[in-house]
Chains A and B, each alone.
Chain A
Amino acid sequence: MPKSVKDAALIEPAKIEGEEVTLRTPKQIALARFKRNKVGPYSLYVSLFFILAAFFAPVITHLWGLSSTDIYTDGLDEFALPTGGFGGISWQHPFGLEPGAGRDVFSMLLYGSRISFTVALVTSVASIGIGMIVGIAGGFFRGRIDALIGRYSDFLFAFPSFFMIIALSYPMVDRVEKTGIARGNNARLLVLIIFFVFFGWPGFARLIRAQSMSLRERDFIMAAQAQGASNWRIITKEMLPNLWPTAIVFLSLSLPGYLSAEAVFSFLGVGIQPPASTFGLVLSDAVKYWKVDPSYLFIPSAMLIIIVLALNLLGDAVRDALDTKSE
Chain B
Amino acid sequence: MLKYISRRLLYTVILLLLVSLSIFYIFDLIPVDPARLVCSKSCTTALVEANRHRLGLDVSVLEQWWRFIQGLFQGRTYGEGGIKDIYCGAPSFGYSFNRHACVSTIMAEAFPITLSLTIGAFIMWLSIGISLGILAARKKGKFADRASTAFVLIGTSLPTFITGIMVVLFIVLKFHLVNPLELGDWQNPFTNPLGWLRTFFFPCATLAIAYAATYTRFTRSNILEISTEDYIRTARAKGLSEKVILRKHTLRAALAPIVTIAGLDFAGLLGGAIITEGIFGLSGLGKLSIKAVTQTYDLPIIVATTLVGSAFVVIMNLIVDVAYAYIDPRVRTT
A residues within 8 Å of B by Cβ? 154-155, 157-160, 162-164, 166-168, 170-172, 174-175, 178, 256, 260, 263-264, 267-270, 280, 283, 287, 290, 297, 301, 304-305, 308-309, 312-313
**Residue contact A155 to B19, C-beta cutoff 8 Å:** yes
Contact across chains for B293 and A166 when beta carbons are under 8 A apart: yes
Bound state CA distance, A256 and B157, in angstroms? 8
Q: Are B274's CB and A162's CB within 8 A?
A: yes
> Is the Cβ of B309 less than 8 Å from the Cβ of A283?
no
Contact of A268 among B154, B162, B275, B309 (CB under 8 A): B275
Q: Please report which residues of chain B, range 281-319, place their CB below 8 angstroms from some CB of chain A when the two chains form the complex.
A: 289-290, 293-294, 297, 302, 305-306, 309-310, 313-314, 317
B275 touches A159 (CB 8 A): no
Interface residues of B in 135-179 (CB under 8 A from A): 153-154, 156-162, 165-166, 169
Assuming the contacts A263-B161, A283-B161, A305-B158, asked whether A160 and B271 have C-beta atoms less than 8 A apart, the reply is yes
- Nearest residue in A to B302 (C-beta to C-beta)? A167
Chain B residues near A178: list those with CB within 8 A: 31
Nearest chain A CB to B111's CB is how many angstroms away? 15
| 9 closest A-B pairs by CB | A171-B30, A160-B309, A309-B157, A260-B159, A308-B157, A290-B169, A167-B302, A163-B306, A158-B314
Neighbour of B274 across the interface among A157, A166, A308, CB < 8 A = A166
A-B contact pairs, 9 of them (CB 8 A): A155-B19, A158-B313, A163-B306, A168-B30, A171-B30, A174-B31, A178-B31, A267-B161, A312-B157
Interface centre among A167, A174, A263, A297 (most CB of B within 10 A): A167
Given A178-B31, A268-B275, A308-B159, is A166 in contact with B313 using a C-beta cutoff of 8 Å?
no
In the bound complex, how far is the Cα of B159 from the Cα of A260, in angstroms? 6
CB-CB contacts below 8 Å: B266-280 with A: 268, 271-272, 274-275, 278
Once the chains are docked, how many angstroms separate the CA of A268 from the CA of B275? 8
Chain B residues proximal to chain A, CB less than 8 Å: 15-16, 18-19, 23, 26-27, 30-32, 153-154, 156-162, 165-166, 169, 268, 271-272, 274-275, 278, 289-290, 293-294, 297, 302, 305-306, 309-310, 313-314, 317
What A residues does B32 contact at CB under 8 A? 170-171, 174
- B156, B268, B274, B290: which contacts A312 (Cβ < 8 A)? B156
Closest B residue by C-beta to A172: B30
Minimum CB distance partner of B169 in chain A: A290
Chain B residues near A159: list those with CB within 8 A: 19, 23, 310
> Which residue of chain B is the closest to A259 with respect to CB atoms?
B159
Q: A155 to chain B: which residues have CB within 8 Å?
A: 15, 18-19
Q: Is the CB of A160 within 8 A of B30?
A: no
A175 to B26, alpha carbons, bound, how many Å? 13
Complex interface: chain A residues within 8 A of B154 (CB): 309
How far does the alpha carbon of A308 sit from the alpha carbon of B163 in the complex, in Å? 14
Residues of chain B within 8 A of A313, CB atoms compared: 153
A309 to B161 alpha-carbon distance, docked (Å):
15
Complex Cα spacing A186 to B278, Å: 27
Minimal beta-carbon separation of B279 from chain A (angstroms): 9
Please measure, in the bound complex, the distance between the C-alpha atom of A260 and the C-alpha atom of B31, giving whole angstroms.
29
Residues of B with C-beta under 8 A to A154: 15
Instruction: Find chain B residues with CB under 8 A from A301 CB.
Output: 162, 165-166
Instruction: Kindly identify which residue among B16, B268, B289 contacts A167, using a CB–CB cutoff of 8 Å.
Output: B289
Check A309–B153 contact: CB distance below 8 A: yes
* Cα(A297)–Cα(B165), bound, Å: 9
CB distance from A206 to the nearest CB of B (A): 14
A202–B23 alpha-carbon span in the complex (Å): 19
